[in-house]
């Protein structure tokens, strides 16, 4: 199994570094949630990802003000595309994870792995 996690380096990336990470995880570090594109998420699936997570700041806690909100919108859009091509949109998720929330990072990843295993 392969999970690709796009992380804002101000928040989720910091959180990821405080906890044990499952082997199947690929962390892609971004300067802000606002940098992630629909293309990146879809390409991740093309490259064999079973699940893709976009983890950014809380929407009202983004250092670039609306970067997180943009990321969330793009994830919503990409989920619609997944739906249209017959893929389970739950394989792509957006969550806010602040820099000191290691346990939340862990739980989001664990939940996704569990969800993927259940639907497999």
Partner 1 sequence: MKASALVIGGGPAGLGAALKLAGAGIKVYLVEKEGAVGGWGARYVCKATDSCQQCSACLIPKKIQEVYQHPLVEILTNTQVVDVEGEPGSFQVRLQRDQTLDPTLCNACGRCLEACPKAAVDLLNPWAVSYRIDKERCKVYSGEDCDLCARACPTGAINFHRPGASWDLSVQLVVAAIGHEPFDARRKYRLGYGRFPRVITGLELEEALNRIEGTDIFGDGWRPLDVAFIQCVGSRDVQEGADYCSRVCCKYALRLAGLLRHREPATKATFYYMDIQTGGKGFPEIYRQARDDFEFMRGIPARIDGGDRLKLHFDGVSGEGFANREHDLVVLSVGIAPSANTAEMARLLTLNRDEHGFLKGREGIYVAGTAGGPRDISESLAHGMETAAKAIIKLEGREG
Partner 2 sequence: MARWGAFICDGTEVDAGSLAGEEVVVTTTLPPQPRELVCKLIGIWTRFDLDGGILIGAVPELVEQGLKESFRQAGLDPFRLVLVDLRGRDAVGKDREIKAALARARHLEPVAWTKAKAQQRVLIIGGGAAGLQTALGLRKLGLPVVIVEQEQNLGGRLTKLDGLCPWDEDPQGWIRSALEVLQRDSEVEILSASKPLALKGQVGDFTLEVQSPAGPITRRGGAVVLALGSTVRWPQSSGLEPGPHVVGLTRLDELTPIRLHYKKVAFLLDVDGLGSRLGTLSALRSALRIKDNWGSEVHILCRNLKVDGKPLESMYRKARDRGVVFFKYEELPRATEQREKILLQFKDPDLDNVVVDEAYDLIVLEEEILPAGEDLGRAWGVLQPANVHLYPVETNRKGIYMVGGCRDEMDFPGVIQDGTIAAGEIGALLGQGVLIYEEDRVRVETEKCVFCLTCVRLCPHQAAEIDLVKEAAFINPAACQACGMCAADCPAQAIDYKAYDNEGILAQLEMGGR
Which residues would be at the binding site for partner 1 (CB under 8 A)?
A: 10-11, 14, 17-18, 58-61, 96, 98-104, 106-107
11 binds, among partner 1, partner 2, none (CB under 5 to 8 A by kind): partner 1
Q: Work out whether 28 is an interface residue with partner 2 (CB under 8 A).
A: yes
Cα distance between residue 110 and residue 87, in whole Å? 20
- In the complex with partner 2, which residue's Cβ is closer, 44 or 55? 44
Q: Please tell me whether residue 18 binds partner 2 under the rule CB under 8 A.
A: yes
Nearest distance from residue 118's CB to partner 1, in Å? 19
User: Least distance (Å) from partner 1 to the CB of residue 57?
Assistant: 8
85 close to 91: Cβ distance less than 8 angstroms: no
Q: Are 51 and 3 in contact (CB under 8 A)?
A: yes
Contact indicator for 86, 99 with CB cutoff of 8 Å: no
What values do phi and psi take at 108, rounded to 5? -60, -45
Residue range at the interface with partner 2 (CB under 8 A); choices 22-30, 77-85, 86-94, 111-119: 22-30
Position of tokens 């990802």?
49
């Amino acid at each position: 199994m392969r999970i690709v996690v796009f992380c804002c380096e101000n928040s989720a990336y910091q959180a990821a570094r405080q906890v044990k990470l499952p082997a199947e995880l690929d962390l892609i570090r971004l300067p802000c949630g606002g940098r992630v594109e629909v293309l990146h998420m879809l390409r991740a699936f093309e490259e064999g990802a079973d699940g893709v997570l976009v983890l950014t700041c809380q929407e009202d806690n983004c250092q670039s003000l609306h970067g997180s909100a943009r990321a969330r919108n793009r994830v919503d859009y990409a989920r619609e595309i997944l739906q249209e091509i017959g893929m389970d949109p739950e394989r792509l998720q957006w969550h806010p994870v602040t820099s000191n929330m290691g346990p939340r990072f862990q739980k989001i990843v664990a939940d996704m792995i569990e969800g993927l295993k259940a639907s497999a």
